[in-house]
Amino acid sequence: MPAQIRLAVDAVVFGYADQQLQLLLIRRNIPPFEGEWALPGGQVLSEESLEAAVERELREETGIGINYLEQLYTFGQPGRDPRNRVVSVAYFALVNPNQFELAAATDAADARWFSCQKLPALAFDHAQIVEYAQQRLRAKLTYEPIGLNLLDQDFLFSDLEKLYESILNRKIDRRNFRKKFLSFGILTETTRVHSGHKGRPGTLFRFDEDKYKALKEKGFLFEIK
C-alpha cells in the first residue's frame, strides 16, 4: 500500500465591508504553523462530499452563512504541508459579513476578517491560494453578477459601483455603469433610503436571482467591462 495522501478542503471566504474586500482567516491552534493565520478548512471525512466538508468546517470554525460557493482549484504539490502529503481542494465563497455575528469564535479557533489590502503572513501555501482566488473573483465579477452576494439584500447603486471599483481597482464611470447594469434587467427597484449618509437619498435595488437564472438559460450574457 502506498503512503497515504490526505485530502483536505480550504475555503477562501470573501466579504465586503468598509468599502474594501475582506478575507476570513482563522488562527491555528495546532501545529504546524501554530499561532499563524490560515484559511478555514480541514480534512474531508470519508463519507461526506467536498462541499459538505467545506460547509462543516466553516460552521465549526467560524459559524458563518454562505451566499455563494464554488470550487476554486486543487492544490497538491508535495511539500505544501511540511508533515504529510496533503492535497487540498480549495473553495471560493462569498458572504455578507453583516448577516451574522462578526466571526463568532467557536471551537478553540480565533476567526477574524482582514482587509485584503493588509493580509498577515499565511500558513502553508495559503497566500498563493488567496492570490488565485482574488484573480478568480476579479475575472468573474466581469461576466457573472456574483458581486451581489457580497452586498446587503437591498443596496444602493453606489455601493455596487464602489464594490466593483475597489475589487477591480479602477475607476468606473457612474452613468455608464448604471445604464449597463440596469439594462440586464436583473435588478428590481425598491423604496428609497437615507440611511447613515448625507446628501440625497438613493434608490435601493435588489438582485432578482430567478430572473437572472431564467435569462442565463436563454443564453443571455452578463458582462461588465
- Report in angstroms how near the CB of residue 7 gets to a copy of itself at its nearest: 5
* Cell 497515504 sits on residue: 4
Q: Which is nearer to a copy of itself, 86 or 160 (CB)?
A: 86
Single out the residue of 125, 65, 123 nearest to residue 98, CA to CA: 65
* DSSP β-ladder status, 154-156 and 187-193: unpaired
Look at residue 2 and give the partner it binds from DNA, a copy of itself, none, a contact being a CB closer than 5 to 8 Å depending on partner kind: a copy of itself
Per-residue burial over 23-58, b = 16 or more CB atoms within 10 Å of its CB, e = otherwise? bbbbbbeeeebeeebbbbbbebeeeeeeeebbbebb
Q: Which is nearer to DNA, 79 or 199 (CB)?
A: 199
Q: Which is nearer to DNA, 47 or 223 (CB)?
A: 223
- Report in angstroms how near the CB of residue 174 gets to DNA at its nearest: 5
Look at residue 158 and give the partner it binds from DNA, a copy of itself, none, a contact being a CB closer than 5 to 8 Å depending on partner kind: DNA
- The H or E element containing residue 182 is helix 174-183
If binding is defined by CB under 8 A, does position 48 make contact with a copy of itself? yes
Q: Of the candidates 30, 47, 198, 200, which one interacts with a copy of itself according to CB under 8 A?
A: 47
Q: Which is nearer to DNA, 24 or 186 (CB)?
A: 186
Which ranges of 3-145 does DSSP label H, i.e. alpha helix?
50-62, 126-143
Query: What are the Cα distances from residue 39, in Å, to 13, 128, 220, 224?
Result: 8, 11, 35, 30
- Report in angstroms how near the CB of residue 5 gets to a copy of itself at its nearest: 5
Q: Of the candidates 28, 56, 59, 85, which one interacts with a copy of itself according to CB under 8 A?
A: 85
Q: Longest C-alpha distance within the chain, in Å?
A: 70
Residues 120 to 159 in contact with a copy of itself, rule: CB under 8 A: none
On the 0-12 / 13-18 / 19+ scale of CB atoms within 10 A, 225 is exposed
Q: Which is nearer to a copy of itself, 70 or 173 (CB)?
A: 70
Look at residue 4 and give the partner it binds from DNA, a copy of itself, none, a contact being a CB closer than 5 to 8 Å depending on partner kind: a copy of itself
By CB under 8 A, name the binding residues for a copy of itself. Answer: 2-7, 43-50, 71, 73-74, 76-78, 85, 87, 89
